[in-house]
Amino acid sequence: MSEHASIDSFEALSRLRVALCKVADVLGSATDEVDAELRREGEWLRSVQGNHWKAEAVKRAELLTRAKAALAQKQWSSGKMGSQSTCIDEKKDVARAQQRLEEAERKQLSVRRWNVRLEREVLNYGAVSGRLGEARTKDIAKAVSLLDNMLVALEAYAGKLSRDHERSTASAGSVSLPPAPTDPQNEAEENEGRASQ
């Protein structure tokens, strides 16, 4: 078993850290965008559509009242003159006005139902979005912090290994080594040369 870890590069951990930060940014942007869209749609449904169909129902009720009054007027005038007028056009106007009023009332009811449904879905989304936001702010931040600590520890470890390696090579160079072995015949000649001097 080796005493030292083999560390080639911290690049993978750095890339993971960058990727986690990007994920946190994308999640933040996406949830902010969805929140804004939900607010816009809710406002459109409540204010624009709700007010529109409420006003339409009032307007169409008034048109129905006028159509009924026109029919009654026609029936009264034909009865007074003794003619057998069928009042077909006025009856068609009343039926058309009645249908238009019923349509406006159905639309009003539909807007109310969709508003209730949207509010329910927004609450459900809020619960999921809250958990996602918590993961983004807490879990990813914690993971980035752990990666930062790992990188610092690994860089310190790699620096210690590097210093230990430098010390061992430096001390190996300063150690006095025993003299290299010589050839016995050359050694005898050198000893004779020293003795003659």
Q: Is the pTM of this model over 0.85?
A: no
* 97 burial level (CB within 10 Å; 0-12, 13-18, 19+): buried
- CA–CA separation, 118 and 96 (whole Å): 32
* pLDDT, tens digit, 9 for 90 and up, residues 69-81: 999 998 888 776 6
pLDDT of residue 175: 43
pLDDT at 96: 97
Q: How confident is the model at residue 174 (pLDDT cuts 50, 70, 90)?
A: very low
Instruction: Give residue 178's pLDDT.
Output: 44
* CA distance from start to end of the chain: 59
Q: Chain-wide mean pLDDT for the chain?
A: 82
What number is the average pLDDT over the span 167-173? 61
- What are the contacts of 83-86 at 24+ separation with CB within 8 A? none
pLDDT in tens, 88-141: 899 999 999 999 999 999 999 999 999 999 999 999 999 988 888 888 889 988
**Percent of the chain scored above 70 by pLDDT?**
74
Pick from 69, 107, 74: nearest CA to 88: 74
Residue 94 burial (CB count, 10 A): 21
What pLDDT was estimated at residue 194? 56
35-44 per-position pLDDT tens digit: 999 999 999 9
- Please, are residues 92 and 74 in contact by the beta-carbon 8 Å criterion? no
Answer yes or no: is pLDDT of 184 > 60. Answer: no
**pLDDT at 196 > cutoff 80:** no
| Local confidence band at 180 (pLDDT 50, 70, 90 cut-offs) | very low
Whose CA is closest to 46, among 122, 115, 120? 115
